[in-house]
Amino acid sequence: MEESTLTFIYDGECPFCNHFAELLELKSKIKNISILDGRKNPELLRDLLKKGYDLDKGAILLKNSEIFHGANAINTICKLIKEPSSKLLEILSTTFKSSKRTKFIFPFLVIARRFALISKGIPTSLE
């Protein structure tokens, strides 16, 4: 069985997104994953936005030819974390493995991201 190629795209200016991306990269033990700061990849973001995927509304996960966005991206990536080597990542992955819980909590995460960016004087929109 062929392993999936994964690309997780996040907002590198968001402190929450940044920390989650670091945990994914360093502690998740997920193979074949690339972690990309969307702000450093504007051409990719423009292509995704044309397809209806706005990083301002949530992280994006590319899994082979599939695209997951927002709550679905977080839920999908957390389901792939089998043996996290960090207590925080274990808590996050356990919390967000539930689609229902992720869909409930996710809007609050988007609001927290916007508040954090505004408080740092950083534009929330990535266009």
pLDDT per position as a tens digit, 25-47: 889 999 899 999 999 999 999 99
Percent residues over pLDDT 70 in the chain: 96
What's the rounded mean pLDDT across residues 47-71?
95
% the chain with pLDDT above 90: 84
Confidence of residue 124 (pLDDT cuts 50, 70, 90): confident
Round the average pLDDT of the chain to a whole number and report it: 92
Comparing CA positions, the residue from 91, 49, 45, 96 lying closest to residue 71 is 96
Q: Is 38 exposed, middle or buried (0-12, 13-18, 19+ CB in 10 A)?
A: buried
Cβ count near 115 (within 10 Å)? 11
Domain ranges of the chain: 6-119
**This prediction's pTM:** 0.91
Whether pLDDT at 83 is above 90: no
Residue 127's pLDDT is: 60
pLDDT of amino acid 75: 97
Residue 32: count of CB within 10 angstroms of its CB: 11
